[in-house]
Amino acid sequence: MTTHPSLSSWRDTRTLRDIEAFVASVTAGPDAVPVEERIAVFDNDGTLWSEKPMITQLHYVVEQWRAAAESAPELAERQPYLAAVSGDFEWLGTAIDKHYGGDDSDLKIIIQALVGLTDGMSVEDYAASVAEFYRTAQHPTLKRPYAETVYQPMVELLRYLEHHGFTCYIVSGGERDFMRPMTQANYGIPPERVVGSAFGLAWDEAEATVRYSSSLAFFDDGPEKPIRIWTRIGRRPLLVGGNSNGDTAMMDFARRGPRPGFALLVHHDDPSRGDIPYDAGAEKALADAADKGYTVVSVKDDWEKIFPDSTHA
């Protein structure tokens, strides 16, 4: 076990010692980085909480698609409504894996159906709908609220970094406004520090509100991530955490800066403690990790504890 009480869910491995050594190197002594430059960014799905058997936002939209297909049965004859009605979530999961492998054909089908759900909805109404989902939904395999499927070691790492003067952000391929209602409670990260994919927005002058349009403004994954980091934060991150091929661009953004930063790559390799193991969508990142200087976090070897204690009866 680690000697640092705030990282008690981490095992005392080389990975933990490398994290502590890097943080010490940039926060103490003559080479310390100014506090305002201590920026850390983390992917969300698969990095800060569980993303298997499907990412949380897909769980939310599956319920919306199922309701839409009940109202218009002809929708159930095509994807993604067919997956929602039949419960064939493998198609949805495969679509995400295909994206990380460079094939976006099925992802485009999902996005087209996704933006149709919010077209014309006010940002406040969408936030209320998402908040209600988080209040009642349970993880499909762990059978516990999503708030209890966060990765305890990563939440501890957020607190550890903040203690050492870092400002932490979420930079995710997940949709920004879907994450915002839960990031403060789950991770201690306020909504203004959430960067993600975004639906198009339009000003409704008559109602003095902002509404969603029928388009996707941008998909925050791969090379888009460092672009959004720069446009939203205006600084190159010093530490980055991710888990997939879609995170390597922002990891390289940190590693190859004027002062080489630190990149954590979470590897889901533990079949015994409820976290579904997988390499799909992370094959290239894992293969390149040694050459690119990524620190691979083994769920099996580096985490003493994966999830927080459940309060759900």
Per-residue pLDDT tens over the stretch 205-245: 999 999 999 899 999 999 999 999 999 999 999 999 999 99
Question: Rounded to whole angstroms, how far apart are CA atoms 115 and 129?
Answer: 15
Binned at pLDDT 50, 70 and 90, residue 119 comes out as very high
Binned at pLDDT 50, 70 and 90, residue 80 comes out as confident
Answer whether 4's CB lies under 8 Å from 160's CB: yes
pLDDT of 101 above 50: yes
For the chain, give the number of residues.
Answer: 313
Characterise 29 by phi-psi region: left (phi > 0), alpha (psi -120 to 50), beta (else).
Answer: left
Question: Rounded to whole angstroms, how far apart are CA atoms 246 and 240?
Answer: 13
pLDDT of 313 above 70: no
Binned at pLDDT 50, 70 and 90, residue 2 comes out as very low
Question: Rounded to whole angstroms, how far apart are CA atoms 95 and 101?
Answer: 10
Q: What percent of the chain has pLDDT over 70?
A: 97
Residue whose C-alpha is closest to residue 166's, from 88, 244, 261: 261
pLDDT of 196 above 70: yes
* 102 or 24, greater pLDDT: 24
Write down the pLDDT at residue 312: 53
What value, to the nearest 5°, has the Cα angle with vertex 182 and ends 131 and 279? 115
Question: Can you list the domains of the chain with their CATH numbers?
Answer: 5-52+150-302 (3.40.50.1000), 56-136 (no CATH)
Question: Rounded to whole angstroms, how far apart are CA atoms 281 and 103?
Answer: 11
pLDDT of 255 above 60: yes
In this prediction the pTM is 0.92
What value, to the nearest 5°, has the Cα angle with vertex 24 and ends 23 and 25? 90
Structure tokens at 118: 């919010």
